[in-house]
Structures are given as structure tokens and as C-alpha cells.
Amino acid sequence: MREQIDPKELKTLGDILALVLDDQPGQAAGALEKARARARANSVTAGALKNLFVAIAPNPPPAAKPAASRPRAPRAGSAAASEAQAARARISQLTADVNRLDLDLRGASARIEALRSELHLTRQARAEAQAALAATRSLAPRKLLLAMVALCGLLIGVAGTSAVMLSTTRPGYSDPSSTLQ
């Protein structure tokens, strides 16, 4: 192992470890895979990495910039993380609401189509009933007229028969068959 640790490599290692320990599982898994790939590429074993931490712990390298001495903000990342988590929860809720409303809309559309179909069938039945009623109403006067003509014909027939019978019989004529008795 080298005596001098490159500050750039140390910063990269620190960034990777910070990401590995981060609360967000996607970034942590990606950083862990990146650290494994870099260790394989540099032929660094787990024991060598452990020895590196042991060497750094008692003698940390000097800070290159005074930026490290600045007071750190009190875990702004946790507030941002909680805001991000709240935003994700809100997005999930809104997505669920959109999906539910979409299902409701589809159900309402299906009900509307069913009601339109039922209305169409009802209109057809109404038109058929009106046609049948109109036909019945138009036949009623004809039936009445036919009945009157038939009655008149019957009366004329009876009157005609009576007239013929009266005209053929003579008032003084008697039937010879009735006198033989």
C-alpha cells in the first residue's frame, strides 16, 4: 500500500461511502456497486480497504481547504428527505386518486351507454305502440261503418223480403190445401 493517500481518492471514497449509508435505497445500491467495481478495477481487497480505514482513523489527512471548518447546517438533508418523502407520498396519493377517478369515469361512461341503449329501445317500443294505436284507431271508424252498412243491408233485405211476400199474396185468395181438411 502507498504511504501517501491521494486526497481526491479519499474524497471519492468518502462520497461513495456517504451514498452507501444514505437513506435512499436506489442511490445506496448504485454507490455500492460503483465501489465494488472500482475495487475490482484497482485490485483492492476487502482487507486492504479495512487497513486503509485503520490507517486513516488515527492520522486523518490534513484538510486541503478551510471549507471543512465552516459550521455545518443542521441536517438539512433530513428535512429535504422528509419533504421528498412527503412529495412521493402525495404523488402516490394523487396517482391513486387519478386511477380511481379513471375507473369511476369508465364506469359512468358504461352506465351512460347502457342508458342510451335503453332509451333507444324505449323510443322504438313507444313508436311501435303509437303505430299500433293509430292503426287501431283508424280501423274503429271503418268497423263502425261496416257494421252500419251490414245492419242497413239486413234491414233492406228484411224489408225487401216482406214487400215481395206481401205483393205475391192476394187478400181474397186462400190456399186450397188448407180448405181440404
Is the separation of the CB atoms in 56 and 48 below 8 Å? no
Gyration radius from the chain CA atoms: 56
Domain count, the chain: 1
90 or 173, which is more confident: 90
How much of the chain, in percent, has pLDDT values that exceed 90?
34
Residue 120: pLDDT band (50, 70, 90) is very high
Q: What is the mean pLDDT of the chain?
A: 78
The model's confidence at residue 77, banded by pLDDT at 50, 70 and 90, is low
Task: Tell which residue, 7, 40, 25, 126, has the closest CA to residue 81.
Answer: 25
Q: Is the pLDDT of residue 85 over 80?
A: yes
The CA distance from 24 to 78, in Å, is 11
Residue 156 domain-assigned (yes or no): no
Per residue in 1-35, pLDDT tens? Answer: 445 566 677 677 777 776 666 666 676 677 777 77
| Region at 162 (left for phi over 0; alpha for psi -120 to 50; beta for the rest) | alpha
Residue ranges making up the domain that contains 28: 1-64
Indicate whether 4 belongs to any domain.
yes
